[in-house]
Amino acid sequence: MAGTVEQGQTSGNGTSSPNPQGPQAEFEVFNPATGQVIAKVPDMSAEQVAELARKARAAQPGWEAMGFEGRGRILLRCQKWLLDNAERVIETIVSETGKTWEDAQLAEISYGANAFGFWAKNAEKYLADERVKSASVILKGKKLILRYKPLGVVGVIGPWNYPLTNSFGDCIPALAAGNCVILKPSEVTPLTSLLMGEMLTECGMPADVYQVATGLGPTGAALIDQVDFIMFTGSTATGKKIMAKAAETLTPVSLELGGKDPMIVLSDADVERAANTAVYAGMMNGGQTCISIERVYVEAPVYDEFVAKVTEKAKALRQGVPAGPGSVDIGAVTFPKQMEIIEGHVNDALAKGARAVVGGKRGAGPGDFFEPTVLVDVDHSMECMTEETFGPTLPIMKVADEDEAVRLANESPYGLSGSVFSKDVARGEAVARRVESGAICVNDALMNYSALELPMGGAKASGLGSRHGAHGIQKYCQHQAILVSSLHLKRDVHTFPYNKRTTQGLMKLFRLLWGRGKRD
Ligand code: NAD
């Protein structure tokens, strides 16, 4: 595994910064809840990334040759390792993200453990040869096969909000398929990815099958030049750069990007469940989840009741430096620059007439905290309703009816996920189907991410392609179409030398096959 970590001693309160001095440039990793530097990590150059790719290419045939069973055995060992070492992994995640113990346990450990088992069990099924039947008589006697062959070396570029789930998580199916993987984690949170390398080595993964390219944006850009596929999770703005860069080498990409997920609360909703879900799905992980509830539309008859319940529940949330299980409900803002965005959206809303019924400003330092915030009297002239906030904020808007709710929900460049609440599940599902998004929940939120059988990908500016399900592993493979001719003549009739009789005979055959009947 590449990328060694040095423990840093100095303290600071910024984001990672490159250090061009010395033989190996490094950047610092901070604990955003305390502002302290917790490690220094190599900022890898393009040459170093190319070297990782050379090693990966050398290791890949051996890894592929281990077969699904051999690879699956290692993945299942990792599943157990993750639970045996859960406290250490959670501490690492918490230290670099500032998230709560529970957010790391529920959304990262459980995801990772589930995913190891899922891909170990299902990779072979999803990637088995598919026998295809053709209706065309000219293909009679030929065997048609769709085969999934690992691409070779997959590059995964990840964000900072879920270092295990959203960065390392996407490596698991790529590895299960027989690829080597180079992971470029976010420069804000590289430590979990490095720890995952330790886990894989301990669990018997051969050298160089999984490598970590620590670094900033340019390290990610260099990775695109070296690999056969890029799985990217991050902002829509960076996603566009990734796609443009990948176009230079015609490298296929899968993009999991930003969102502005709406929640629609219909007048016949279970308001208590809707309010609990809004507060949890809007603020767990400090609201730093791609599929967080980012805005709520409530039908007028239940608006006051919903706002009252959300206000009471959000006021009760405890925020602070995470200190073990049960210590706080809301942790820190992981990425210092995100703080400016959150504060900007809240201030913009307040300046335009919104009210903060809970929170509304930064929390006490030295770490980076933003108070759990509930905004009312909001509308679509405000950034908090139209741009991704990615913080513990919940703007709530009153709407006249479901048509207005759907229209506003769709008035967004994003289309990642969302949710609809109604006791009439048929009505809830009908409204959900009108929301333009890659995923949608009825009387729930976030849970679709745990359904590894179901594709998860964004519509509109929220992404391209998907993770999970059959496509979530088939995308890491060359789809090779194989035709095997077993019953054949010495010379096929349509081939050289051309002669008039055969050509006319074939035309008769084509007319018989495809030309019968009249045009309507
Ligand atoms: P980001 O786009 O700033 O960075 C993501 C990664 O891209 C980082 O590793 C970064 O170093 C790298 N990068 C930056 N510039 C690059 C370049 N030019 N070439 C190659 N790599 C480059 O995103 P972020 O701030 O780390 O993450 C937050 C965003 O991620 C939010 O928008 C969130 O919605 C999104 N996200 C989406 C999903 C999803 O599944 N759709 C999941 C989690 C997060």
Output the ligand 1 site: residues, CB below 6 A: 157-161, 166, 184, 186-187, 216-217, 220-221, 233-235, 238, 241-242, 256-259, 290, 335, 388, 390, 416, 458, 463
Of 413, 393, 409, which Cα lies nearest the Cα of 401?
409
- Structure-token match 């808007």, residue found: 397
- Cβ–Cβ < 8 Å for 75, 112: no
Q: Inter-axis angle of helices 110-127 and 67-84, to 10 degrees?
A: 170
Cis amide linkage into residue 366, ω under 30° from 0? yes
3-class SS string, 391-413: CCEEEEEEECCHHHHHHHHHCCC
First CA to last CA distance, the chain: 65
Q: What share of the chain is helix, strand, coil (3-state, %, to 5)?
A: 45, 20, 35
Q: List the residue whose alpha carbon is closest to atom 21 of ligand 1.
A: 220
User: Any residues with CB less than 8 A from the CB of 321 and at least 6 apart, and which?
Assistant: 33, 34, 98, 328, 331, 332, 367
- pLDDT number for residue 279: 98
- pLDDT number for residue 365: 87
Q: List the residue whose alpha carbon is closest to atom 35 of ligand 1.
A: 234
Q: pLDDT tens-digit profile of 116-144?
A: 999 999 999 999 999 999 988 889 889 99
The single residue of 290, 384, 441, 477 carrying the catalytic annotation is: 290
Question: Mean of the pLDDT values across residues 208-223?
Answer: 98
How sure is the predictor about 2, in pLDDT bands with cuts at 50, 70 and 90?
Answer: very low
- pLDDT number for residue 276: 98
Question: Mean of the pLDDT values across residues 181-203?
Answer: 98
- pLDDT number for residue 508: 96
Q: What secondary structure does DSSP assign to 111-146, as a single string?
A: HHHHHHHHHHHHHHHHHS-EEE----GGGTTEEEEE
- pLDDT number for residue 470: 98
How far is Cα 373 from Cα 391, in angstroms, rounded to an integer?
A: 9
- pLDDT number for residue 137: 85
- Specify whether 256 is catalytic: yes
Enter the pTM of the model: 0.95
Cα of 520 vs centre of ligand 1, distance in Å, is: 53
In this prediction, what percent of the chain has a pLDDT beyond 70? 96
Cα of 235 vs centre of ligand 1, distance in Å, is: 4
Cα of 258 vs centre of ligand 1, distance in Å, is: 8
Type and span of the H or E element at 357: strand 355-358
Question: Mean of the pLDDT values across residues 74-99?
Answer: 98
How far is Cα 12 from Cα 28, in angstroms, rounded to an integer?
A: 9
Q: Inter-axis angle of helices 271-283 and 300-315, to 10 degrees?
A: 50
- Cβ–Cβ < 8 Å for 40, 26: yes
Of 78, 116, 115, which Cα lies nearest the Cα of 196?
78
Measured from the CA of 159, which atom of ligand 1 is nearest? 26
Average pLDDT, rounded, for the chain: 95
- pLDDT number for residue 487: 86
How far is Cα 193 from Cα 197, in angstroms, rounded to an integer?
A: 7
Q: Which amino acid is at 161?
A: N
How far is Cα 34 from Cα 332, in angstroms, rounded to an integer?
A: 9
Cα of 338 vs centre of ligand 1, distance in Å, is: 12
Q: pLDDT tens-digit profile of 5-35?
A: 554 333 333 334 444 444 589 999 999 999 9
Question: Mean of the pLDDT values across residues 359-365?
Answer: 95
Q: List the residue whose alpha carbon is closest to atom 16 of ligand 1.
A: 217
- pLDDT number for residue 5: 54
Q: Over 80: is that where the pLDDT of 358 sits? A: yes
How far is Cα 100 from Cα 332, in angstroms, rounded to an integer?
A: 8
Question: Mean of the pLDDT values across residues 464-483?
Answer: 98
Strands 210-212 and 441-442: unpaired
The single residue of 28, 102, 187, 256 carrying the catalytic annotation is: 256
Question: Mean of the pLDDT values across residues 162-182?
Answer: 98
Cα of 187 vs centre of ligand 1, distance in Å, is: 10
- Specify whether 180 is catalytic: no
How far is Cα 191 from Cα 52, in angstroms, rounded to an integer?
A: 18
Q: List the residue whose alpha carbon is closest to atom 23 of ligand 1.
A: 234
Distant-in-sequence contacts of 74-78, Cβ < 8 A, 24+ apart: 74/200, 74/203, 74/204, 74/205, 75/116, 75/117, 75/119, 75/120, 75/172, 75/175, 75/176, 76/116, 76/117, 76/120, 77/203, 77/204, 78/116, 78/199, 78/200, 78/203
Q: pLDDT tens-digit profile of 446-457?
A: 999 999 999 999
- Cβ–Cβ < 8 Å for 455, 468: yes
